[in-house]
Amino acid sequence: TASIIKKLTELSFEKVVHHIVTCDCQPTMAVQPNGILVCVNGNLIIDDGQNPMKFAQCFHLLPDPSSAGNYWVH
């Protein structure tokens, strides 16, 4: 992990803007009651560049049993 942290801290960009193109949310009743699977696709604009990088990210939100109405990322 030290080499990963070193590499990330040495990257030369200063600004990254996320442009979300699509966001799809689906309930996950069979896996975890009241969970939500979130999938996001979009573009990353690095240092005002003209050629955005594509990104996709999925994460699973699960209800926080100790705090009604709150979720945590699984």
- For residue 61, the model assigns a pLDDT of 93
> How far apart are the C-alpha atoms of 9 and 3, rounded to whole Å?
10
pLDDT digits (tens, 9 = 90+) for 7-60: 989 988 889 999 999 999 999 987 667 899 999 999 999 999 999 999 999 999
**2: which 2 tokens?**
């030290």
- For residue 24, the model assigns a pLDDT of 98
> How far apart are the C-alpha atoms of 8 and 38, rounded to whole Å?
26
- For residue 33, the model assigns a pLDDT of 78
